[in-house]
Amino acid sequence: MDKEILVALAGQPNVGKTTVFNLLTGLNQHVGNWPGKTIEKKAGTLRHNGTVYRIVDLPGTYSLTANSPEEIIARDFIIKERPDVVVAIIGAATLERNLYLVAELLPLPAPVVIGVNMIDVAKREQIHIETDVLEAAIGVPVVPMVATKNQGVRELVEAVDALATGRRDYAPRIPQIREDHRDVLEALEALIRESVPEPYPSHWTALKLLEGDREMTALVRGRLPDDAWEQVHELLKAHEDAIIDIAGGRYEWIGRMTRAALARPHTGPVTLTERLDRVATHPLWGLGVLALALLLIFWLTYTIGTPLQDAIEEHLVAPLGDRLAELLAGQPPWLSGLVVDGILTGAGTVLTFFPILVIFFASMGLLEDLGYMSRAAYVMDRFMHAMGLHGRSFLPLFLGFGCNVPAVIGTRIIDSRRPRLLTILLAPLIPCTARLVVIAFLAPIFFGDRATLVAGGLVLLNLVVFAALGVAVNHLVFRGESVAFIMELPLYHVPNVRTIALGVWQRTAEFFRKAGTIILIVSVVLWALSSFPGETVEESVLAQFGRWLDPVGQLMGLGWRAVLAMLTSFLAKENTIASLAVLYGAGQSDLAGALSAAITPAAALSFLVAQMLFVPCAATVAVIWQETRSWSWTGFSVGLLLVISISAGTLVYQTARLIGWGV
């Protein structure tokens, strides 16, 4: 009668295990399901030198902890069926990664043969593996293979046979748990040893309990007396972190095993992405690139956008206003006022933003499609770290440069509540596109040629306030809680014009939707309140309300109109422009003159500073409440920013007054 050897074929996914199985069994295989599971079971036979090898293809698994049915099937088969040999197929190019499963197979009661497959792939990647050195290090047979070319299969079968028949010694070096938890493992094993059912090894079972393996925990729990379980439970509770030391022990083992056997190329071919990243993610140059990108966007806006904006005002909005005024000449004055001074001056002025918006959105879309945004987030994160904002991630907040709403929503990736609340609190301090557009519009009006520098300075100021508030709250409230991310930076792409154009279209369309609703309504309401009951704005209902704001405005050198315009930005940031136009009774081109005449440079700077730091828009406030479900936190967030913005505006104006600049 032929000798029979039971072989289990194990391996992580994508290592060529199925190819090896097919080569070994050929047509002598049958496919079914594992008992009680819908997972495919493949088994087959190989006859070689008078021996029948029964080969079972175990499901591909990354580990043997009960995280998935496949992992339970694989380990249960090895423990309960006790194969004569387990063949672990590992990928040569992913050797270290794949050895993790081997580290878990070795403590099980079945000898292991390792098949290092896809040696050719590794060679192509200039990875050199000394399989005999690896064999000596691990203490189990290691066979180099290229299964797709039928290389190494015969040697694998011979190694299996030698091990199964005892012609070869088996002395594996089994990974050990790190020293920190070795005593705990021993204590645990002593507690459960008498209750662990056959055929589970007690040491392995104790290890699995420490790993938090639900299946083994339930098994032991059902067999232990209550008092003994209580001790086990206490031990496990006190050493929840043991799993880390167990995995750490396995990785240390992998490091030791491969140290002499594996040689990777020290310097691979340097890709374009790597070359660019040397600058783009450099702690210093990376910040320079980011600052340059921001300044370039502002410069493009002022160089191309502002003249175009003037042209739209001059050739479209102004003539339209004149034409409408002519058409409505015979109508009641309030109707002409509503259409020309309310709707056209307010919402119409905002519509002249169009070129600025296109440049902004196209620039952001270009950086996004290029793959630069992840680098910018990474560099900013390191900058924040350097500024003392340790343990906070800039990642979700970086979304705030587009819009604060997704930044707040993006904090969902932070699991812990308190760090998440802090991140939400900081989110509105990231200048969103709408705020940047307002600055892009107003900075040239107030500061002419120096607009780019002023705009850049305002963005920097926001980030400094952001960091200062973050550090303060971090120290006072959220000490010791970290938010961390690991991010694979994507490859740089050649930007796709269609993708960028689509993004510009979607974002611009959304802006026009806002202009046609919120901004239009606010413009009309402001016009109505500023037109009745008196003949002039000063006699209006709005003026009576606005004068209550005078004390606050005076601190910042501003009149009530400017403060009121800032207040309307609560509904949408762009409302500031429409409100200034309505309240100063001017279209865009006149607005420049009207504002320059009414607001001194010092007050203008104070206004822009306060505007940048002002409370978030209503949509952001709504989403803050939605995400925190806390009225008090939402109120605190709004109140805090209100105080910060007024304080900063006041500080700027009063300092300017003290040094005698621009007053």
The number of beta carbons lying within 10 Å of the beta carbon of residue 338 is: 19
What minimum distance in Å lies between the beta carbon of 390 and other proteins?
Answer: 6
Binding range to other proteins, per CB under 8 A, among 73-81, 303-311, 398-406, 452-460: 398-406
Query: Minimal CA–CA distance to 349: which of 163, 556, 72, 589?
Result: 589
Token code pair at residue 647: 């304080």
The number of beta carbons lying within 10 Å of the beta carbon of residue 233 is: 15
What minimum distance in Å lies between the beta carbon of 96 and other proteins?
Answer: 4
- Partners of 151 in the beta sheet? 146
Between residues 223 and 264, which has the closer beta carbon with respect to other proteins?
A: 264
- With H, G, I as helix, E, B as strand and everything else as coil, classify residue 390: coil
Find the binding residues for other proteins in span 236-255 (CB under 8 A): 240-241, 243-245, 247-248, 251, 254-255
Binding range to other proteins, per CB under 8 A, among 115-123, 393-401, 465-473, 525-533: 393-401
Indicate whether 428 belongs to the interface with other proteins (CB under 8 A). no
Indicate whether 573 belongs to the interface with other proteins (CB under 8 A). no
Cα dihedral 23, 29, 32, 33 in deg (nearest 10): -40
Cα 395 to Cα 218: distance, rounded to the nearest angstrom: 40
Burial 445-463 (b: 16+ CB within 10 A, else e): bbbeeebbebbbebbebbb
- Partners of 662 in the beta sheet? none
Query: Minimal CA–CA distance to 89: which of 176, 148, 5?
Result: 148
What minimum distance in Å lies between the beta carbon of 401 and other proteins?
Answer: 10
Interface residue with other proteins among 294, 520, 623, 624 (CB under 8 A) is 623
Cα 223 to Cα 197: distance, rounded to the nearest angstrom: 8
Find the binding residues for other proteins in span 88-147 (CB under 8 A): 94, 96-97, 100
Kindly determine how many residues on this chain lie close enough to bind other proteins according to the rule CB under 8 A: 77
Between residues 84 and 381, which has the closer beta carbon with respect to other proteins?
A: 381
Binding range to other proteins, per CB under 8 A, among 29-37, 105-113, 141-149, 369-377: 369-377
H-state helical runs in 17-118: 17-25, 69-76, 95-105
Interface residue with other proteins among 224, 362, 403, 605 (CB under 8 A) is 403
Cα 562 to Cα 582: distance, rounded to the nearest angstrom: 11
Query: Minimal CA–CA distance to 504: which of 346, 363, 296, 345?
Result: 363
Binding range to other proteins, per CB under 8 A, among 282-290, 374-382, 447-455, 549-557: 374-382
What minimum distance in Å lies between the beta carbon of 464 and other proteins?
Answer: 18
Binding range to other proteins, per CB under 8 A, among 14-22, 155-163, 195-203, 379-387: 379-387
Q: How far is CA 265 from the centre of its chain?
A: 31
Q: Are 262 and 424 in contact (CB under 8 A)?
A: no
- Non-local (6+) Cβ contacts of 236 within 8 A are 188, 209, 210, 212, 217
Binding range to other proteins, per CB under 8 A, among 152-160, 162-170, 342-350, 478-486: 478-486
Between residues 281 and 647, which has the closer beta carbon with respect to other proteins?
A: 281
Between residues 301 and 423, which has the closer beta carbon with respect to other proteins?
A: 423
Token code pair at residue 574: 């762009």
Query: Minimal CA–CA distance to 507: which of 439, 436, 570?
Result: 436
Indicate whether 62 belongs to the interface with other proteins (CB under 8 A). yes
Question: What residue has token string 């016009």?
Answer: 527
Between residues 287 and 318, which has the closer beta carbon with respect to other proteins?
A: 287
What minimum distance in Å lies between the beta carbon of 631 and other proteins?
Answer: 19
Between residues 30 and 418, which has the closer beta carbon with respect to other proteins?
A: 418
Between residues 44 and 431, which has the closer beta carbon with respect to other proteins?
A: 431
Binding range to other proteins, per CB under 8 A, among 63-71, 76-84, 110-118, 463-471: 63-71
Indicate whether 360 belongs to the interface with other proteins (CB under 8 A). no
Indicate whether 415 belongs to the interface with other proteins (CB under 8 A). yes
- Non-local (6+) Cβ contacts of 229 within 8 A are 220, 221
Binding range to other proteins, per CB under 8 A, among 34-42, 135-143, 474-482, 643-651: 474-482
Between residues 479 and 629, which has the closer beta carbon with respect to other proteins?
A: 479
Question: What residue has token string 């090898």?
Answer: 53
Token code pair at residue 608: 């822009």
Find the binding residues for other proteins in span 256-275 (CB under 8 A): 264
Q: Are 644 and 469 in contact (CB under 8 A)?
A: yes
What minimum distance in Å lies between the beta carbon of 275 and other proteins?
Answer: 14
Question: What residue has token string 């036979």?
Answer: 45
What minimum distance in Å lies between the beta carbon of 414 and other proteins?
Answer: 7
Between residues 435 and 561, which has the closer beta carbon with respect to other proteins?
A: 435
Query: Minimal CA–CA distance to 407: which of 426, 393, 427?
Result: 427
**Distance (Å) of CA 134 to CA 172, 248, 462, 589:** 11, 20, 56, 78
Indicate whether 406 belongs to the interface with other proteins (CB under 8 A). yes
- Non-local (6+) Cβ contacts of 365 within 8 A are 495, 499, 500, 503, 504
Between residues 242 and 580, which has the closer beta carbon with respect to other proteins?
A: 242
The number of beta carbons lying within 10 Å of the beta carbon of residue 132 is: 11
Between residues 70 and 84, which has the closer beta carbon with respect to other proteins?
A: 70
Between residues 161 and 574, which has the closer beta carbon with respect to other proteins?
A: 574
Binding range to other proteins, per CB under 8 A, among 193-201, 292-300, 407-415, 520-528: 407-415
Interface residue with other proteins among 14, 28, 416, 536 (CB under 8 A) is 416
Find the binding residues for other proteins in span 480-519 (CB under 8 A): 480-490, 493, 503, 506-507, 510-511, 513-514
Indicate whether 11 belongs to the interface with other proteins (CB under 8 A). no
What minimum distance in Å lies between the beta carbon of 609 and other proteins?
Answer: 24
Between residues 318 and 619, which has the closer beta carbon with respect to other proteins?
A: 619
Between residues 197 and 268, which has the closer beta carbon with respect to other proteins?
A: 268
Q: Are 435 and 443 in contact (CB under 8 A)?
A: no
Whole-angstrom distance between the N-terminal and C-terminal Cα of the chain?
Answer: 107
Indicate whether 410 belongs to the interface with other proteins (CB under 8 A). yes
Find the binding residues for other proteins in span 186-225 (CB under 8 A): 212
Interface residue with other proteins among 21, 24, 59, 63 (CB under 8 A) is 63
Indicate whether 306 belongs to the interface with other proteins (CB under 8 A). no
